[in-house]
Structure 1
Amino acid sequence: MKTTMNGLLLFLFFVPISLFAQNIVKGTVTEKSTAIPLPGVNVVIKNSTTGTSTDFDGQYQLQAKKGDVLVFSYVGYLPIEIPFTGQSTINVEMAEDAALLDEIVVIGYGSTTKKDATGSVEAITSEDFTRGNIVTPENLLSGRISGVSINTSGAPGSGSQIRIRGGSSINASNDPLIIIDGLPITNDSNRGSRGILASINPNDIDSFSVLKDASATAIYGSRAANGVIIIVTKKGKSTFSATLDSQYSFGELTDRINVFSANDFRSLVASQPINGSNLDETLLGNANTNWQDEIFRNTVSSQHNLSLQGSLFKAIPTRFSFGITNQEGAITTSEFERRNLGLALNPSLFDDHLKINLNANLSFEDNRFADSGQIGAALRYDPTQPVYDPTSPFGGFYQHRNGNTLLNGTTNPVASLLQTNNQGDSNRAYGNLNLDYKFHFLPELKAVLNIGYDETETKEIQRTSALVATNDDVRGNVFDRFEKRTNELFDGYLNYSKEFNKVRSEFTAGYSYQKFTFKGNNTGNRLDPNSAPDTYADPNVVLIGFFGRANLTFADKYLLTLTYRRDGSSRFSEENRWGNFPAAALAWNISDEDFLKNSNVISNLKLRAGYGITGQQEVSQKDIFLNRYRGGNPNSQYQFGNTVIQSLIASEINPDLKWEETTTFEFGVDYGLFDNKLSGSLNVFQKNSKDLLFEASVADGANFSNNVIQNIGELRIQGLEFSLNADVVKQEDFNVNVNFNATFLDREITDLALGQDVRTGGIAGGTGNNIQMHRIGEAPNSFSVYKQLYDTAGNPIEGAYADLNGDNVINDDDRYIKENPGADVILGFQSNINYKNFDLSFNMRANLGNYVYNNVNSSRAQLGQLQDNAVLGNVPTSVLNTNFQRTSDVITSDLYLEDASFLKMDNITLGYTFNNISKKLKSIRLWGGVQNVFVITNYTGLDPEVTGTDPGIDNLIYPRPRTILAGANFKF
């Protein structure tokens, strides 16, 4: 017995020592791209049940013996296997599994997977965003998605013109519906703000989903004809992490409109008689001033963003963010400042049956607006005159004057900028509460409730110095305007998902209520006793929708989606208030068929076909049915005793007004080759818009105006889209990824009221001139011009045009349609290159076949413009190419219509990441870059990409500077 006990004790002594020659190994598991610890990672010895998981700090400890293989796995990340050779520490960096993360695509009132998507939907996550000096969120998408074009002005914090597949309308809005965390926002902005997205911090954006065809957008019915952009913001996480991003940018304008220098201007004035008379050379000064240099400046801007993530009260995943942006504009006095606060709370209760997502955001936007019209004044102002004049009664600025009387002509642009203080303060609060409850007794059924609110209050303050150059009795102004816009949303829907044998089904049905309000007031000019205050408001707009969707998947290969929405709008009369918007889509996952299942070449192949009807109801407030009258001039008032009553004027009204409707047909192919190393899609579509909202003439006396908004006209847009994503190189330390997309568009007006042409596209120079036309059989906003005649030497003959109809009279009947401002082809190309800790990315775009009317030259490049009313004025040097004298003789010549095709490199950035700096500081990424790197174009103007109300008309755009960038990203 004693011998037995001694043997047992000896055995127990050696077991813990040897334990089959096992050792303790420990380490930390972090996310490769961020160096943030990953909790909950499974660490298992291969081919065994022995394992553990990482703790809150990403740390683990495990017993292993030599020859074992440690397997690290985590949902959403690529698994890693590491042989154990006796080392005491193994630290692991896990990379995201891009194929898995890209699987989920956010759509209207829900989500799907790329494999199950039947519509034309493209998702871009934060990993793929365009980099650079991104101030407003839409520029994260610039050049990234086929069919989507984004055109941003050079003004600081300015909004962008966003077009998805060329829009769908002529006179109504072509802007897409934008949805932030389930809250559709209005495309109307208040005065005092730069735009509807200017208040949103791009650093808070997690992903975009762009819904392009009607089968994807019809769930939003009456507002989806121009496509839908769904923005998802970043959510809270349980693991604590912190990031600090800082960047500085230094901008410089690299181009100018060429005008005559002071010496050349003197020579030109001396040599050019105007209308047979010499110019008055005594009006010339002795200075040498480049007025464009005086109003433009080099800029310094900065952005700083701080975000904190972690569990609040150890139970609520939370994210807090703070951002501040300061951006100087290229025009003196132009400034934009934004401060953002964001809070996201994302707890789950009742064993994840109830998911709560609360997003709350505050934005404070401060603007100082510079009058971009002073660019034109800088071109015109006499370069022989100084900026300042100590004897001037107009604040010490030089002005053309006779004693204290201002002479008629262009005024000093520097004085106009510095003596005007036009500020706008915009405070915005927006967010939503989303409750997603999966029923305990029926887990296949869930109820979703979404409550959203968006409120913007703005104050616009205009101050003009009392020393401003004017001959008016009232000099200067003090003018305040206050506006408030609210957006309230209530959505609720039920979703049921169930699999029956080989059939997977999902059904969604819901209700939506949204209300928009707007009101404002202004003080009038407090320095002018004749200026009265004014209060104004738009009628409340209420939108009500009932929607439903059915998704059916057969054998994981054949997919059917049916969508229906019925929308009601208070914009229209009771008879036309409701609209019906159905859609259907089919898809076939061919790559899952037996004959392709084991293909080494084709890894994914899906055919799609879709049909749907969507709507459009965005018309100006004065045109909607509710607005039956408007306030008269504030000075037109009646007084009864001590009560002053403002006059009212009946508004024009069309009780038959109804929705625009756009019907879309689409056929698409999604493909993936060589294990999805090459992937993308090809889409062919046609959009037919009818009942276009269009302002057209009515018979005299038939209404309270001779022009009333009506449903007239039809528009057809045909297109082809192609996209390609390629992992050119994919290795552990070296990766090269490229993205290429191309869009081909053809637009044609197929019907207008009574078949009549509609002139549009007002231009500067003369009075009442238009350069564009809507005509059946042509693209919207096509250019209507005279055909220029040339002499035998190839020089244009002033005022000489071809008699195209042969009646020996040159009049409007001889104008012809030549080109249009829309690009026939839109291209985008991006690349991301990673080598060890280095990263390089760039973004390029191209437009082909778009034309621009150079209104800068057509209205200014004539020698007659040297006489600027009572003074002298400068002109562009391009006048020497024509020697034209009179603007009115040449303004509508096709000479000024130019091919504005271009290739642009928008951004290029280079960075280096230092990992594992300390226990708390996980990484630092230092980077530099350039924005607006280069432009290749034959267009002779300042920039071929023109922004403005009238597309394709260049009447002095706000210039885009080239910007040098430097930044640092800290991750804790």
Structure 2
Amino acid sequence: MKTTITSLLFLLFFAPAFMYGQNTVKGTVTEQSTSIPLPGVNVVIKGSTTGTATDFDGNYQINAKKGDIIVFSYVGYQAQEITYNGQASLNVQLKEDAAQLNEIVVIGYGTTTKKDATGSVESITAKEFTKGNIVTPENLLSGRVAGVSINTSGSPGSGSEIRIRGGSSINASNNPLIIIDGLPIDNNGVNGSNGVLAAINPNDIDSFSVLKDASATAIYGSRASNGVIIIVTKKGKATFSATYDAQYSFGELTDRVGVFSGDEFRQLIASQPVNGSTLNESLLGTASTNWQDEIFRNTVSSQHNVSLQGSLFKVLPARFSFGTTDQEGALVTSEFNRRTLGLALNPSMLDDHLKINLNANFAFEDNRFADTGQIGAALQYDPTQPVYDPSSPFDGFYQHRNGSLLSNGTTNPVASLLQRYNYGDANRSYGNLNFDYKFHFLPELKAVVNIGYDETSSTSIDYTSTAIATNDPVKGFSSFGTQKRTNKSLDGYLNYSKEFGTVRTELMTGYSYQKFTNNGGNTGNQRDTASFPSTFADPDVVLIGFFGRANLTFSDKYLFTLTYRRDGTSRFSENNRWGNFPAAAFAWNISDEDFLKNNTTISSLKLRVGYGITGQQDISGNNDIFLNRYRGGDQNSQYQFGNQVIESLIASEINPDLKWEETSTLEFGLDYGLFNNKVSGSLNFFQKNSTDLLFTASVADGTNFSNSIIQNIGELQIQGLEFSLNTEVIKNDDLNINFNFNATLLNREIKELALGQDVRTGGIAGGTGNNIQLLREGEAPNSFSVFKQLYDTSGNPIEGAYVDLNGDNIINDNDRYLKENPNADVILGFQSNINYKNFDLSFNLRANIGNYAYNNVNSSRAQYERILDNSVLANLPTSVLNTSFQRTADVIISDIYLEDASFLKMDNITLGYTFNNISKTLKSIRLWGGVQNVFTITNYSGLDPEVFGGIDNLIYPRPRTILTGANFKF
């Protein structure tokens, strides 16, 4: 006992010596831009083992003495070192480190860093998204990534045509594989919805990763030939914060197709004979109506988004979001409404060895679809007639009548829009549950399981007023349909990471299962007596994959990646069901070599080379072509057996030999960073060869149950060069200026077609069965096939006169030649963000060079014979004055209608101002305004040079939109 007391006295005596100069320091660590507390910040005395971490409220406490350097560090933020001067409290604000955040890149089944990436992968985070009137998520990437083009219609909530490096197929899908939080989604939508991405709220997205070359995409094997887009949604955080975003937009169409006014049309009818006969002027009215103005409108739309994030019960990071979108279409009666709910829970357990991510999303999409065919009706409807007629029996709308309705003529387009009610509702629930467990006994090994679910149910109804203009005794008609698609997936893999001296290894192996189902029904069309209620259930599509990847890094300089995937699909017969998709890549971090290590100009330089094979099995509407199938005939193919009427069964086409379309890609890349990475980017050269193309081609009569079936024929080659540049022009406390520039050069060529045969494609309006495009070996896909127009000595085109290219003195299809194609040779993107104190300015430009468009509006309508619309008169495009052509059939294939559609577009420009530290509760308010679809510079004579497939046949026009909004952070 005496010894114990002596020891305690000894410790008490010398304790002040041990603690001499030590003080308890307290404080709070917050985020600089929002003043939100940061939990889990490491607080360490530099050069010692003394340290702590901030709690959930950002508070910390540590013992320090004068002169100590306290280091505050947190992932994604710039570390701070502060010399302690003896104060009792020390509050610190950490600034976000954009470079560090951008270093992490999401890849297939895992993550990597930009330095360690061996494939062509580009990551875009929320701060880099394209801004503006963004309704569907893919437009956040518009013009932002080299090799990626996004073409969106002007229809409200409409989907987009997304192409990565020009796609890889001709007849099969060219859409990239899109993955949301580990769940590969189906590219097929449902009736009643605007598309597979229409239900996704862009405000919930945290980042995109675009995987472009085969060494990066081969881990997804059978669906990766067209590239992969990985979407990561926002997750919960430990600290509480809330945001409210409001946006209002006001749209107006700034251009119209030029047609004759009422007075001009009356003058034209009086002076223009057709087929040698004068026109009946008694059919003219006294009004002057611009029918395009009548069917189009100025629009008002809005978006509202609320998000809450923080820790439930102080241990469960969570995020909740709610969003509404109400978008009017420029075409009268077109509307898109969406409500979304999102929930993310991200707990960590077992000393952070087990991480769980739950993402649940619900979307409710309501649409009213306008009949876009009325755009064409508005061009040709008689401009001398009024919209309304008090004596009309058709709900007061003017219609061509002579006692009764004149049949076989265009009807009032305003009435056709307002008297038709085409609605679609789609309810979608999707999400995933992810378990990431790092083994306690072997922390280098982790197991990941991801369960995904996606279900969309839709209802569509289309009915017309009984007052519609028709001579049909059945007044009005309606149809009703339902559909449900489900997508279930299960992925599991093991990942082992370990360093052995200067060698770093990462090994991964896994299994993937996915099942797609599609069921629906339709009541039929009440006006069509040949139609009767029907249901459908597409055969289920099941995909199974086994995959593995090995990453080896030597001395942080030499990186090797080997990938292999074996996929099976239910779409093919048992003999061809499985496909093998290997890939290999090598990268050399040249800047880590001694001769560049201390270079002040070149901060990073990496050489990459990769090769891989990916697959394609997406055949729209043909899930079981290898099976013997039968379809029911209609009432005209029934037969009577006794007193019973039997519905016939008709055999469908079959191809049991169908197999994978495969794409092999070779790529050489160079990633660079200059001046401490203030300037960075990449240069890539690639070549893709797609073989065994899935192609609908003719078969000999009597050899199948159709004269054409899907076959494996042909080869397509795409070569390209990509360049990207990111730079910080100025970066200081008051002024930041950065910009991104990217350029893509593409060359496409068909190497082989079945039997070397040409295939006509690209159907056009005007006449019957006309095609304007051709597939031919040695040429770009969908090249335009046209006659070479002849001109008189004054330079005017001669109607129906073409060059006899083969010299046989006969003008026929053998004299058509290939001229250009709809795909751009060069795609450019430019984006800039400028921040001065509390002001922010951003804008986005895009350009296509070398793309051509066939002006089907003029080729099918700008001829004088089109004045006669059966028993009534019809308007014409004023471009008829440039040619004075009489007959559509004589001129529709002329190359005069093929135009250079190169363009430069400013998609958007926004200007904002942020008010910080409004109150203890309200951290900031950002007020902003902007313009969407600012301008287009082009020589193309149509409304818009950016048309799907290169054929301009009355696109849904894109309005210019004035934007205003406010962002509140709490």
- Give the TM-score of the pair, scaled to structure 2: 0.95
CA-CA distance at 1:306 after TM superposition: 0.7
Contact 1:533–1:634 (8 Å) recurs in 2: no
Separation in 1, partners of 2:509, 2:65: 57
Which residue in 1 is equivalent to 2:759? 758
1:957 paired to 2:964: no
Structure-2 change in CA distance of 1:477 and 1:594 (3 Å): same
Separation in 2, partners of 1:241, 1:375: 47
Separation in 2, partners of 1:488, 1:23: 58
Which range moved further: 44-53 or 744-753?
44-53
Correspondence 1:761-780 to 2 at 5 A: 761-780=762-781
Which range moved further: 871-880 or 75-84?
75-84
Which residue in 1 is equivalent to 2:8? none
Contact 1:846–1:902 (8 Å) recurs in 2: yes
Which residue in 1 is equivalent to 2:688? 687
Contact 1:393–1:404 (8 Å) recurs in 2: no
Which residue in 1 is equivalent to 2:7? none
Secondary structure of the corresponding residue to residue 216 of structure 1: helix
CA-CA distance at 1:391 after TM superposition: 1.4
1:741 paired to 2:739: no
Separation in 2, partners of 1:335, 1:472: 29
Equivalent residue letter for 1:913: T
Q: Which runs of 5+ in 1 are unaligned?
A: 1-11
CA-CA distance at 1:856 after TM superposition: 0.5
1:151 paired to 2:151: yes
CA-CA distance at 1:54 after TM superposition: 4.2
Correspondence 1:155-194 to 2 at 5 A: 155-194=155-194
Contact 1:35–1:923 (8 Å) recurs in 2: no
CA-CA distance at 1:32 after TM superposition: 3.2
1:498 paired to 2:483: no
Contact 1:623–1:709 (8 Å) recurs in 2: no
CA-CA distance at 1:36 after TM superposition: 2.4
Contact 2:214–2:612 (8 Å) recurs in 1: yes
Equivalent residue letter for 1:959: P
Secondary structure of the corresponding residue to residue 877 of structure 1: coil
Contact 2:291–2:381 (8 Å) recurs in 1: yes
Which residue in 1 is equivalent to 2:715? 714
Which residue in 1 is equivalent to 2:558? 558
Equivalent residue letter for 1:611: Y
Secondary structure of the corresponding residue to residue 216 of structure 2: helix
Contact 2:215–2:584 (8 Å) recurs in 1: yes
CA-CA distance at 1:496 after TM superposition: 1.2
CA-CA distance at 1:111 after TM superposition: 1.1
Separation in 2, partners of 1:42, 1:662: 48
Which range moved further: 47-56 or 827-836?
47-56
Aligned counterpart for 2:964 among listed residues 960, 963, 966: 966
Separation in 1, partners of 2:544, 2:48: 58
Separation in 1, partners of 2:353, 2:234: 22
Separation in 1, partners of 2:836, 2:638: 73
Equivalent residue letter for 1:815: R
Which residue in 2 is equivalent to 1:834? 835
CA-CA distance at 1:66 after TM superposition: 9.0
Which residue in 1 is equivalent to 2:534? 534
Equivalent residue letter for 2:952: D
Which residue in 1 is equivalent to 2:629? 629
Structure-2 change in CA distance of 1:917 and 1:348 (3 Å): same
Separation in 2, partners of 1:720, 1:640: 67
Contact 2:56–2:314 (8 Å) recurs in 1: no
Deviation string 1:812-870 (CA, Å, 9 cap, x unpaired) is 11100000000000000000111111111111100000000000011111111111111
Structure-2 change in CA distance of 1:630 and 1:918 (3 Å): farther
CA-CA distance at 1:227 after TM superposition: 0.4
Which residue in 2 is equivalent to 1:483? 483
Separation in 1, partners of 2:622, 2:633: 16
Separation in 2, partners of 1:60, 1:623: 60
Separation in 1, partners of 2:196, 2:282: 51
Structure-2 change in CA distance of 1:402 and 1:26 (3 Å): farther
Which range moved further: 176-185 or 97-106?
97-106
Which residue in 1 is equivalent to 2:855? 854
Structure-2 change in CA distance of 1:210 and 1:287 (3 Å): same
Equivalent residue letter for 2:447: A
Separation in 2, partners of 1:232, 1:302: 25
1:730 paired to 2:731: yes
1:805 paired to 2:806: yes
Which residue in 1 is equivalent to 2:331? 331
Secondary structure of the corresponding residue to residue 793 of structure 1: coil
Separation in 2, partners of 1:404, 1:239: 72
Deviation string 1:692-742 (CA, Å, 9 cap, x unpaired) is 011111111100000111111110000000000001111122111110000
Which residue in 2 is equivalent to 1:6? none
Contact 1:728–1:736 (8 Å) recurs in 2: yes
Which residue in 2 is equivalent to 1:7? none
1:449 paired to 2:456: no
Correspondence 1:373-522 to 2 at 5 A: 373-522=373-522
Equivalent residue letter for 2:559: L
Deviation string 1:916-942 (CA, Å, 9 cap, x unpaired) is 111111111111111001100000000
Separation in 1, partners of 2:392, 2:642: 48
1:230 paired to 2:230: yes
Contact 2:572–2:625 (8 Å) recurs in 1: yes
Deviation string 1:172-222 (CA, Å, 9 cap, x unpaired) is 110000011111111101110000000001111111110000011111111
Equivalent residue letter for 2:721: L
Which residue in 2 is equivalent to 1:883? 884
Which range moved further: 28-37 or 738-747?
28-37
Which range moved further: 32-41 or 493-502?
32-41
Separation in 2, partners of 1:161, 1:653: 30
Contact 2:136–2:157 (8 Å) recurs in 1: yes
Deviation string 1:612-636 (CA, Å, 9 cap, x unpaired) is 0101111122364255324334435
Q: Which runs of 5+ in 2 are unaligned?
A: 1-12
CA-CA distance at 1:408 after TM superposition: 2.0
Which residue in 1 is equivalent to 2:372? 372
Contact 2:249–2:963 (8 Å) recurs in 1: yes
Correspondence 1:8-157 to 2 at 5 A: 28-42=28-42, 54-59=54-59, 71-81=71-81, 92-157=92-157
Contact 1:771–1:892 (8 Å) recurs in 2: yes
Structure-2 change in CA distance of 1:580 and 1:404 (3 Å): same
Contact 1:246–1:968 (8 Å) recurs in 2: yes
Which residue in 2 is equivalent to 1:705? 706
1:907 paired to 2:908: yes
Secondary structure of the corresponding residue to residue 331 of structure 1: coil
Separation in 1, partners of 2:89, 2:839: 27
1:583 paired to 2:617: no
Contact 1:406–1:469 (8 Å) recurs in 2: no
Structure-2 change in CA distance of 1:122 and 1:642 (3 Å): farther
Structure-2 change in CA distance of 1:488 and 1:62 (3 Å): closer
Separation in 2, partners of 1:802, 1:739: 47
Which residue in 2 is equivalent to 1:596? 596
- Percent identity for Structure 1 against Structure 2: 78
Which residue in 2 is equivalent to 1:200? 200
Secondary structure of the corresponding residue to residue 596 of structure 1: coil
User: What is the Cα-based RMSD across aligned positions, in Å?
Assistant: 2.3
Which residue in 2 is equivalent to 1:256? 256
Deviation string 1:454-490 (CA, Å, 9 cap, x unpaired) is 1110000111111111122322112101001111111
Contact 1:241–1:309 (8 Å) recurs in 2: yes
Which range moved further: 576-585 or 90-99?
90-99
Separation in 2, partners of 1:412, 1:35: 60
Equivalent residue letter for 1:403: G
Secondary structure of the corresponding residue to residue 657 of structure 1: coil
Contact 2:626–2:656 (8 Å) recurs in 1: no
Secondary structure of the corresponding residue to residue 622 of structure 2: helix
Which residue in 1 is equivalent to 2:817? 816
CA-CA distance at 1:690 after TM superposition: 0.6
CA-CA distance at 1:646 after TM superposition: 4.4
| Count of aligned pairs | 956
Structure-2 change in CA distance of 1:643 and 1:159 (3 Å): farther
Contact 2:539–2:623 (8 Å) recurs in 1: no
Deviation string 1:635-667 (CA, Å, 9 cap, x unpaired) is 355688999764322110111111101010000
Equivalent residue letter for 1:888: A
Secondary structure of the corresponding residue to residue 886 of structure 2: coil
